[in-house]
Amino acid sequence: MIMMDAESQKIIMKDSVVRESYQTAYPCFRKLKEKGLIPLFVTMDGHIQVMRALREVWPQVTLQRCLYHIQRQGLSWLRTFPKTQAGRDLRRLLLDICDIKTVKERDDFIKSYKRWLLKYRTFVKSLPRTSVAFKDLKKTMVLITNALPDMFHYLKDPKVESTCNKLESFYSRLKADFRRHRGLSENHKKSYLKWYCCFQNQGK
């Protein structure tokens, strides 16, 4: 689990965990707060338990949902070729969200999504609960609806990142380098992570 300062791209927190959860995130955030960190904004994916931990440690923080994570997850559920018109229309909406740069474009997206809900909500409810189409559409609807209040904070402040792409780029390099050292013990993996982040912060 890693936190990065988006402006400097320096790693400000790192921890080796089996999986992200409230139990693993909360202690890490508490340590950062005790060291004086008071973030105004955090751009992140939609991990509910990590979001809960963030809000408990820093009640004043504004969470910006990563648009790329929303897009990628929604498109994955809807699949490349949705079998329903509702799925095809919703997929087209998702394809545009990472390109929203203005308040007008945000408002157009929200209006389009509300029109989609008005047009297709009854149709989705009418689908058999066990059908693939129902599950895919329902999950994507819940994803967008829940994320919507925290999707566009970046339009108010240019310092807020709309995606986690800088951190994801770092993760990609880290994972690739980890794969070249598969034989490392758990302790050596933790040491490797610490040194890797140290070199990242030194610009090496």
Residue 204 is predicted with a pLDDT of 59
- Domain range annotation of the chain: 2-65+164-185, 67-155
Dihedral sign of CA atoms 126, 132, 136, 139 in order: positive
DSSP-assigned states of every residue in 135-154: HHHHHHHHHHHHHGGGS-GG
d(CA 59, CA 38) in angstroms, rounded, equals 10
What pLDDT does 200 receive?
A: 85
What is the residue-level pLDDT of the chain in tens, covering all 204 positions?
A: 899 999 999 999 988 887 899 999 999 999 999 999 999 999 999 999 999 999 999 999 999 999 999 999 999 999 999 999 999 999 999 999 999 999 999 999 999 999 999 999 999 999 999 999 999 999 999 999 999 999 999 999 999 999 999 999 998 888 888 778 777 887 887 888 888 898 889 885
**Would the pTM of this model clear 0.75, i.e. be above it?**
yes
Question: CA 148 to CA 143: how far, in whole Å?
Answer: 8
Determine which helix (DSSP H) or strand (DSSP E) holds 5, and give its type and residue range: strand 2-5
